Amino acid sequence: MMMSPFGLFRKHRRRKLLQRGLIAESLWSSLLADLPILRFLREDERERLRRLSTLFVREKIFEPAGGMILDDAIRTRIAALACLPILNLDFDCYETWRTVVVYPGGFVRRRSEFDDIGIMHEWEEALTGESWERGPVIVSWTDVQNSGHCNGYNVVIHEMAHKLDMLNGAADGFPDLPPGMKRKRWTDVFTAAFEDFNARLNREEETALDPYAAEAPGEFFAVLSECFFEIPDLVRMEYPGVYDLLAQFYRQDPAARFRPFIPNNKNQARDPESLRDSRFPGDHAPREALADAARGDDHGRFDDDQR
């Protein structure tokens, strides 16, 4: 397929950006040593991630908020975590938005909603991250620091999953699938897993997967995506069909990547209490809520029949 003039210009511009040099070797080596999730990458994958992260740092606008002070180390850490999901995809997946807003910790958003009889209700929510359709990504630096430690928590990957989900509209758990992936298969597998997870929570069953995944199909996709990269064996054991689809979607197999480095004790990966304790080593604000999240009866739907 012939590339459009704008596509050719974009490719040329990115080649020029990379020719200026990649993220500094000392900074990149320090990041690799500090983030367990990156240690499992092959050398060629690390180099590809470094190139993508360089583009992310140079193309995205990083804005401090709430007294946050940004430096190259902070930008690079966010960039590397953000680019891990698109390691084998295309940087154009992130072309529709420009800005990353960084708070020192959890931040507060004022919400409002009309109820069924027309009364306006207003409240405040404390968040760790937020994604706006064709708008910014907002993250808490405290939670970025607690991401990437292979414990199932990753606020950056969570928000990037929302951004990928939004490429074809609202974040509803049905992203734009690549050629070869069956839409009905995605709908059937994700809906069954989402309903099963909600049923387990209703039975008050202990689970190492974050209960926030039950909030909506879009959140289920985002939470399972971060777990897919952070604790892949757990996703593969809990919902093997979902794992297979995520592996096809992201074109990565983190479980195979991790396997040579993890203890040969499968029960350890399924221990809910130890995973919950390690996932939240500090005080966290509640999970993010999408700025444009639809509140209604769409739970349990992972299809695109509204488009």
Across the chain, which has 307 residues, the per-10-residue mean pLDDT values are: 59 71 93 94 96 96 96 98 97 94 81 67 68 90 95 96 95 94 96 97 92 96 97 95 98 91 50 48 42 32 44
pLDDT of residue 126: 67
pLDDT of residue 95: 92
Alpha-carbon distance of 199 to 70, in angstroms, equals 43
290: region left, alpha or beta (phi > 0 left; psi from -120 to 50 alpha): beta
pLDDT of residue 263: 59
Check if the beta carbon of residue 177 is closer than 8 Å to that of residue 303: no
pLDDT of residue 280: 44
Q: Which candidate, 66, 71, 63, 57, places its Cα nearest to that of 22?
A: 57
* The dihedral formed by the CA atoms of 117, 120, 123 and 128, expressed in degrees to the nearest 10: 80
**Please, which residues have CB within 8 angstroms of residue 282's CB and are 6 or more apart in sequence?**
142, 146
> Which pTM was predicted?
0.82
pLDDT of residue 21: 78
pLDDT of residue 195: 97
Which CA distances in Å does 137 have to 32, 103, 167, 224?
Answer: 23, 11, 14, 19
Alpha helices in the chain (DSSP H): 5-19, 25-34, 36-39, 43-59, 72-83, 141-145, 155-165, 183-202, 217-230, 232-238, 240-250, 254-258, 266-269, 272-279
Residue 21: exposed, middle, or buried by beta-carbon count in 10 A (0-12, 13-18, 19+)? exposed
**Bridge pairing between strands 129-131 and 120-127:** unpaired
User: What DSSP designation does 262 have?
Assistant: S
In the chain, what's the furthest Cα-to-Cα distance?
Answer: 60
Alpha-carbon distance of 97 to 133, in angstroms, equals 8
pLDDT of residue 131: 85
- Other CB atoms within a 10 A radius of the CB of residue 104 amount to 14
Alpha-carbon distance of 254 to 243, in angstroms, equals 10
